[in-house]
Structure 1
Amino acid sequence: MTEVRHKAEVEAQELVAQADTGARSLEGNLGIMVAVIAFVWSTFQLYVASNVPYWLFDTTGVELIFNNSEIRFIHLAFGLVLSAFAYPLFAWSRRDTIPWYDWLLAAAGAFACLYLVVMRNDIALRPGLPTQMDLIVSATGLTVLAISVYRTLGLPLVIVAGVFMFYVFFGNQSFMPDAIQWRGASVGKALWHYWMQLEGVFGVAVGVSASMIFLFVLFGSLLEQAGAGNYFIKLAFAVLGHLRGGPAKAAVVASAMSGLYSGSSIANVVTTGTFTIPLMKRTGFPAEKAGAVEVASSVNGQLMPPVMGAAAFLIAEFTGIGYHEVVIHAFIPAVISYIALVYIVHLEALKMNLKGLPKPPSHVTMMRRLMGVLAGFIGISLLGMAVYYGLGMVKVLFPQLTFAAVMGLFLIAYVALVGIASREPDLEVDDPNAPIKELPRAGDVGRTGYYFVLPIVILIWCILLERFSPSLSAFYAIMAMMFIVLTQHPLKAMFRSQSWRPAAWQGILDFTHGMIGGARNMIGIAVATAAAGIIVGTVSLTGAHQMIGELVEFLSGGSLIVMLLLVAGMSLILGMGLPTTANYLVVSSLMAPVIVALGAQEGFLVPLIAVHFFVFYFGILADVTPPVGLAAFAAAAISRGDPIKTGVQGFFYSMRTVLLPFLFIFNTDLLLIDVDAGHAFVVFIVAVVAMMLFAAATQGYFFAKSRIWESLVLLLVAFTLFRPGFWLNTVQDEYVVATGPAIVETVLNAPAESEVRLMIKGPDFDNPDRMTTRTITLDIGNETGKDWLEENGLSYFDEDGTIVLDEPFPGTKFSQDFQDFDFYGDKPVVIEKSEVPADRMPKEIFYFPALLLLGVVILFQRRRQTQPAF
């Protein structure tokens, strides 16, 4: 049995290697060569992220400064070379050597990328006029990229990118349906667009990969190499292992902590699942359910800020909002999703009457335990306040010495926490198949690694307080992490009065492996973002998203809910088999504009960040969903369960994640948009309660096994808590509507700091026989509505009681937004109606009948309850 389990773990490790770091196992000179290239890649990315190039130029006159485009070219060159060396091309290819064709592909990929660096000045002088050499280089680069994507990520992304390229070259042919035809592009124009400029392969996605994603992946690699991954797993087990279904709850929490820095759901499954899945099975979970818990929690790690599977930086880039705002908006949905998963595990444990793992003997009373929990909560709160206010005070007191002061505080705290850790034995990686006689004490485990929190504190300080760029914030966090990796073992040795030299060598080895591991983890991301650039480039060249929007509009029949369901399904399909970054790039490029455009036509205006989160959530669910759910296959390899059943069960556990996007689309309070601190706390508490009720309803168990009517009532209560505005809209109109000349009165008389919505209707610019609509919001500032209209270039006139809109002046706020309208056709563009928010009762009033219904369900279930509910 032990051999079977070991084989399962090896298979899982091979799966994550194939998906993330490369399946080749090279030794000798070849292994050293690949390791050196990976180390140099990490060093290069740190070099361009630092101030060293400018310091070098100021002190020595040597100019080794790379601009943004050159960094992208070199970044992808490293990715293509390492993909050829680290990943075998075919399933039957040897794993212990590099065949001749891979040397050729590596050289060709590097040449195609570095050609753009060497010839950059000449290329800039002939924009859009490629030479024969330009076309050869572009074709070579795209071919090598396609092969690299195939060998690192498999066929799905190659097929998707290939379909889009086919559309560019052949989208004007007669065999294409009329509805999706476009004017077409020549070979020269397409190749130039894809490779020779920053619109295709080397577009925004590769730019974000080179400037931000790499640094955060490297930070996670160093954190993992330092032992933080094992620390988080053991801490979660020490805290939660004694509860019902303790190993499963610990798996959820450990995956959440791994998600703070991990960029891969598959790696998350294997890292934590190798330990947690066997323990879950030993405590009574069936193989498929044990694997499903790990899959659901690991995939959710891609939704956990601050990294979000490396997609947070892309979301910030595409939505145009600050990275720190993305982190804030993503926080509540991610946290309540994890809380709900812990509760789902608890309900499963109740249904199976499972017990927890044995915990250390303790004479602590229940009161002291409660006091300990309270002290822990207060401690975390004080830590947060210390970071925010304490470091903020340092900034006020020492404005010129803030950085030095924070680094000094970091050093003092680090030495003190390492001293505390040195009094405890170092954590070892346990054998998950070995019997556990009792759990370790949470305090003992905690003391061994408190200092791992310090680099994360620095990261948060840089992002939220100093408002540094994500790349600069990650750079400083990496510097702190490097310091810890290099010094933690020697410092512990000195505190323990041991020789520090062997420990120092261990620190150097950990640092080297962390640098190499970070680069190898980036191979798939680098080529994935480049391939996704083909899709983004195709959309910008052809306007393919408009065609998809028309298809969705036709299929939805104007129904907003049907439209969202179609977009969710398409995002799920498009995300199958893709890593997180490529997944987000594909779904956001194609599906996000559809929601924005069709929503505006129906008068449904939603913040852009909510739209991007919506498609991102459903794209990520592809990692769970059969038949392509890669994370489910990784978990099944460890649990020895059926991968399809594991995926189905994992998707069932992920129903709460399916629900969330629909909720924050209609209730943006969940994303903390325009919400103050007090309201945010209420939103969080209500959302947690609602999500737990939803989990209880879908699991068919609350205080006891639920009857059908009880589950339906729980769903109704959860819906009401999540979206009380739905019921308010049924009893009171959301807006005061005006038509005809009354529109003018509404707008002109709008007071300062008010909001007016206008629905514009007119002939479509591309198809004058088709009428299109768009809803805009006028956010009136400290002025009157009349002044606001004049400042933003909107002019109108009354034509027989119809308010006709003139074309906005070029350069004004709405000149770009109204390009879809034909202002010079036979039919005018008109303001169909105006809407002003109505003065209504608070929507929270509907919480009271919902809670009353909840009380009724609890009353009925308590009579049938046979065991404690918590």
Structure 2
Amino acid sequence: MKSQEVLAQFDNEARFRSFQSRMMTRLISLLAVGLALFHLITSYTGPLVTLQHRILHTGIVMVLVFLLYPGRKKSPKNKATFLDYLFTILSIVTIIYIFIDYSNIVTRVGLPNVYDTIIGLLFVLLVIEGGRRIVGNGLTILSVVFLLYAYFGPYLPTIIGHRGYSISDIVNFMYLTTEGILGTAIGVSATYIFLFILFGSFLDKTGMGQLFNDSALAIAGQSAGGPAKVSVISSGFLGSINGSAIANVVTTGSFTIPLMKRTGYSANFSGAVEAAASVGGQILPPVMGATAFIMAETLGMEYSMIALAAIIPGLLYYLGILIIVHLRAKRRGLQGMTKENLPKMSEVFKERGHLIIPLIILVYMLFGGFTPIYAAFFAILSTVVIAAFRRSTRLHFKGIIEALEYGTRSALSVAMACAMVGIIVGVATLTGFGLKMTNAILLLGNGSLFLTLFFTMLASIILGMGLPSIPTYIITSSMAAPALLQYGIEPFVSHMFVFYFGILANLTPPVALAAFAGAGIAGGEPNKTGFISLKLASAGIVVPYIFVYSPELLLQQGTPLEIGWAVITAVIGVISLGVTMEGYLFQQVNIFMRLLTLSAALTLIVPGIMTDIAGLAFLAVFLIVHWRNIKKVNSKKGEEILNPDC
């Protein structure tokens, strides 16, 4: 029960109504299942005309949001109000209008009539209200600010001002073109994202989460501080498929956080481990929380290239967390779980191992040249078939219907977030705001790549605060990434850089939603948990700088030997950073020695023979001095044992 309360506190998506009326419950199920089937069918047969496909997706999502999510805290939680029904009907009107008048809309593009303006304005307001209910106030306020910016441009200071646009121009751009609300973001939501969330729903229904947890327990449960390592591994597995870091924290955290606390980890540290690990799933292939597909669409790259490039940085992120978790356990003498309380890997895979096959099919098809939409369709189909091999995982008709409904419900917040991001990106495109932000970052950077990276990092963290991973990527890639292109950095590298820091905003107080959710389950203090989770994710702060200076880590260039050397130095750097953060390696490390390991970590970031030699030299000095200190301490302990009276 506590996990559900925490989820409802930090995730608007969990605050849905439970209708008393059986008719309304069935209506919601019918709409949700119908939308899921629509996407499944069109993934095989091909989508409708672009504008019609996107408006149908967005409109039905809004209908479900207005029926399921109360407009105010005091609104009834078991029935819809008059306003909810009114907004529902108006949402349907916005769909019908484009379907009925589509040919005329296309011919008069850019020259809206009065009806276009009225329905368009209605659509924009409905998107904002629907987004407020399920996504929250942060993105809603940002969307409204951008709309006001589009209108009041002539009255603003020259540095950010523009010629201004009429209400008719703005709503036409947002509603009747594929540049605004019905732009790329909602287009990807209506294709890739929906299907992969649906795929995750089917996997969850078959018990994939249990497979991840049990596998992690079998792998790491017995080692020092085992439950924390179990949290890192299982959250990484689940987070790659699950598009919500907060939901991941609650799902795996309700199991792993109590285990960590019983082992001896503090409440704040336990919550932070789960938060850092859950957020990292968004940057880990194969699915990357569905962001990889938007990145592929935006950059015009093959998905397989993006997933392949993200593997090494993603693994380095998790290595950083595991190093700190392990050193904390050794430092405090925390033991793992007893063998008797752990599942055997052979038994785990005997019971649920076949559930890995749909993931293998998905990855094979994605890397085999099939479109992500087609791959997702067959992955969902194969999940139903393969799950039927064992009674414990089999999906009967009721289970399939529940998976379809749950998948649609899980996609609602992402779809509304994408619609609202369409407003922000649309206004930035219309007014040239993105260029102004790029110029501001370049001005602050003052010709220095490092300073430009630093200010781009800050901009990405600020823009990503309180947002899900997908809108975070879209906003940061539109407004922060272009500044890096001026230094000749490849677009993909720039996009990965801003995406990493946009994701880390979930761990950055004062708006660290994933960390706050972890603190809620652990009974810790939110801000302390947030700062500890940032410490655990320190590799995630360093790694983006590494792959900007060493694109070999993203497999973007270099020979196999150069890539291998870049990986080795990066691994050494991440381990050194872990020692710096925890202040322990076989024994306590003092502040001066930690400066040596920090110097080693930082110099190993920058590619080049001289910096690599310097980094390895710093590390060698640390190891020699530290080893001598360990020998002195051990020798002193030996003397005390031999001469207890001393």
TM-score range, shorter chain: over 0.9
The unaligned stretches of length 5 or more in structure 2 are 636-646
Query: 1:853 corresponds to which residue?
Result: 621
1:543 aligns with 2:439: no
Q: Deviations over 1:77-131 (max 9, x none)?
A: 1211111122111112221111121111112122213322221111011111111
Tell me by how many angstroms 1:573 deviates.
Answer: 1.0
Alignment of 1:708 onto 2:610: no
**What is the identity, as a one-letter code, of the residue corresponding to 2:528?**
K
Q: Deviations over 1:113-158 (max 9, x none)?
A: 3322221111011111111110111000000100011000111101
Amino acid of the structure 1 residue aligned with 2:5 = E
Structure 1 distance, partners of 2:517, 2:606, is 37
Match of 2:38 among 40, 44, 60: 44
Answer whether contact 1:576 1:628 (CA < 8 A) is retained.
Answer: yes
1:454 deviates by: 0.6
Q: Please tell me whether the aligned partners of residues 113 and 141 of structure 1 are also in contact (alpha carbons under 8 angstroms).
A: no
- Please tell me the root mean square deviation across aligned C-alpha atoms, in Å: 2.1
Alpha-carbon offset, residue 719 of structure 1: 2.9
Measured after TM superposition, the shift of residue 316 of structure 1 is 1.2
Q: Which residue of 1 aligns with 2:639?
A: none
Q: 1:463 aligns with which of 355, 366, 369?
A: 366
Matched, 1:297 2:277: yes
CA contact 2:539–2:577 (8 Å) conserved in 1 = yes
Partner-residue secondary structure (3-state), 2:290: coil
Deviation, structure 1 residue 857: 4.5
1:447 matched residue in structure 2: 350
Cα distance in 2 for partners of 1:305, 1:114 equals: 39
Matching residue of 1:743: none
Q: Is the 8 A contact 1:165 1:538 kept in 2?
A: yes
Deviation of 1:611 (Å):
0.5
Residue of structure 2 aligned with 1:150, choices 120, 129, 132: 132
For residues 85 and 670 of structure 1, the distance between their equivalents in structure 2, rounded to whole angstroms, comes to 47
1:68 and 1:483, CA in 2 relative to 1: closer, same or farther beyond 3 A?
farther
2:206 equivalent among 226, 230, 240 = 226
Question: The residue matched to 1:201 in structure 2 has which SS?
Answer: coil
1:323, CA displacement in angstroms? 1.0
Map 1:394-413 to 2 at 5 A: none
Structure 1 residues 255 and 551, CA gap change in structure 2 (3 angstroms): same
Match of 2:189 among 200, 206, 209: 209
Count how many residue pairs are aligned between Structure 1 and Structure 2: 634
1:689-746 CA deviation, whole Å, 9 max, x = no partner? 3211111112111221112222122122223433242836xxxxxxxxxxxxxxxxxx
What is the match of residue 8 of structure 2?
14
| 1:172 and 2:165 aligned | no
Q: 2:472 aligns to what? A: 583
1:26, distance to aligned residue in structure 2 (A): 2.4
In the superposition, relative to structure 1, how do residues 117 and 857 fare at CA in structure 2: closer, same or farther (>3 Å)? farther
Report sequence identity in percent: 34
CA distance in 2, matches of 1:678, 1:550: 38
CA deviation after TM superposition for structure 1 residue 21, in Å:
5.1
1:180 Cα shift?
1.3
1:152-551 aligned within 5 A: 152-173=134-155, 176-360=156-340, 438-464=341-367, 466-485=368-387, 487-490=388-391, 507-551=396-440
Deviation by residue 1:581-624 (Cα, 9 ceiling, x = unmatched): 11111111111112223x2xxxxx21111111111111111111
CA distance in 1, matches of 2:107, 2:151: 26
SS at match of 2:317: helix
TM superposition shift of 1:260: 2.5
User: 3-state SS of the aligned residue for 2:584?
Assistant: coil
| 8 Å CA contact retained: 2:291, 2:470 | yes
Find the partner of 1:622 among 497, 502, 505. 505
Counterpart contact for 2:267–2:523, Cα < 8 Å: yes
Q: Which runs of 5+ in 1 are unaligned?
A: 1-5, 54-64, 361-437, 493-502, 600-604, 729-843
Distance 1:865 1:667, change over 3 A: farther
Q: Equivalent residue for 2:643?
A: none
> Is contact 2:195-2:376 (8 Å) kept?
yes
Structure with greater helix percent: 2
AA aligned opposite 1:220: G
CA contact (8 A) 1:724 1:846 kept: no
TM-score, normalised to structure 2, is 0.94
Question: Contact 1:21/1:517 (CA < 8 Å) preserved in 2?
Answer: no
Q: Could you say what secondary structure the match of 2:457 adopts? A: helix
Is residue 610 from structure 1 mapped to residue 610 from structure 2 by the alignment? no
Instruction: After TM superposition, give the deviation of residue 679 of structure 1 in Å.
Output: 4.6
TM-score by length of structure 1 reads 0.70
Contact 1:717–1:854 under 8 Å retained in 2:
no
* Alpha-carbon displacement from aligned partner over 1:805-858 (angstroms, at most 9, x marks no partner): xxxxxxxxxxxxxxxxxxxxxxxxxxxxxxxxxxxxxxx666764563354245
Q: In 2, Cα distance between the equivalents of 1:714 and 1:851?
A: 6
Match in the other structure for 1:723? 606
Q: CA deviation at 1:555?
A: 2.7
Contact 2:280 2:318 in 1 (8 A): yes
Question: Residues of 1 paired with 2:495 and 2:557: CA distance?
Answer: 18
Kindly state the Cα deviation for residue 44 of structure 1 after the two structures are TM-superposed: 0.4
| Contact 2:602 2:615 survives alignment (8 Å) | no
Choose which of 445, 450, 461 in structure 2 pairs with 1:572.
461
Q: Are 1:35 and 2:39 counterparts?
A: no
Report the AA paired with residue 470 of structure 1: P
> In 1, Cα distance between the equivalents of 2:184 and 2:105?
20
CA contact (8 A) 2:225 2:325 kept: yes
Match of 1:404 in 2: none
- The higher relative CO (CA closer than 8 Å, separation ≥ 6) is in 2
For residues 327 and 290 of structure 2, what CA distance do their matches in structure 1 show? 32
SS at match of 2:123: helix
Deviation at 1:641, TM superposition (A): 1.3
Q: Does structure 1 residue 120 correspond to structure 2 residue 120?
A: no
> Which letter does structure 1 place at the counterpart of 2:620?
L
Q: 1:83 aligns with which of 65, 68, 81?
A: 65
Deviations 1:207-226 (A, max 9, x none): 11111111111111111111
Compare CA radii of gyration and give the structure with the larger one: 1
Assess, with a 3 A threshold, how the Cα gap between structure 1 residues 619 and 197 changes in structure 2: closer, same or farther.
Answer: same
* SS at structure 1 position matched to 2:338: coil
Letter in 2 for 1:118: I
Q: Is the 8 A contact 2:515 2:530 kept in 1?
A: yes
Residue in 1 aligned with 2:528?
Answer: 645
Once the two structures are TM-superposed, the CA of residue 164 in structure 1 deviates from its matched residue by: 1.1
Give the 3 Å change call, closer, same or farther, for CA 274–147 of structure 1 in structure 2.
same
2:71 partner SS: coil
Give SS of 2:178's match: coil
Cα contact 2:110–2:172 (8 A) shared by 1: yes
Q: Which amino acid aligns with 1:712?
A: L
The equivalent residue for 2:17 is 24
Amino acid of the residue matched to residue 444 of structure 1?
A: E
Q: What code does the residue aligned with 1:516 have? A: E
**Partners of 2:51 and 2:116 in 1: how far apart?**
17
Amino acid at match of 2:360: V
Separation in structure 2 between the aligned mates of residue 471 and residue 296 of structure 1, nearest angstrom: 30
- Is the Cα–Cα contact under 8 Å of residues 601 and 615 in structure 2 kept in the other structure? no
Return closer, same or farther for 1:847/1:654 CA change in 2, 3 Å cut-off.
Answer: closer
**Counterpart contact for 2:549–2:605, Cα < 8 Å:** no
Contact 1:664 1:671 in 2 (8 A): yes
Correspondence for 1:666 among 549, 562, 567: 549
Task: Mark the CA change 1:577 to 1:845 in structure 2 (over 3 Å): closer, same or farther.
Answer: closer
Query: Does the CA-based 8 Å contact 2:134-2:413 persist in structure 1?
Result: yes
Query: Post-superposition shift, 1:672?
Result: 1.1
Q: 8 Å contact 1:21–1:523 — kept in the other structure?
A: no
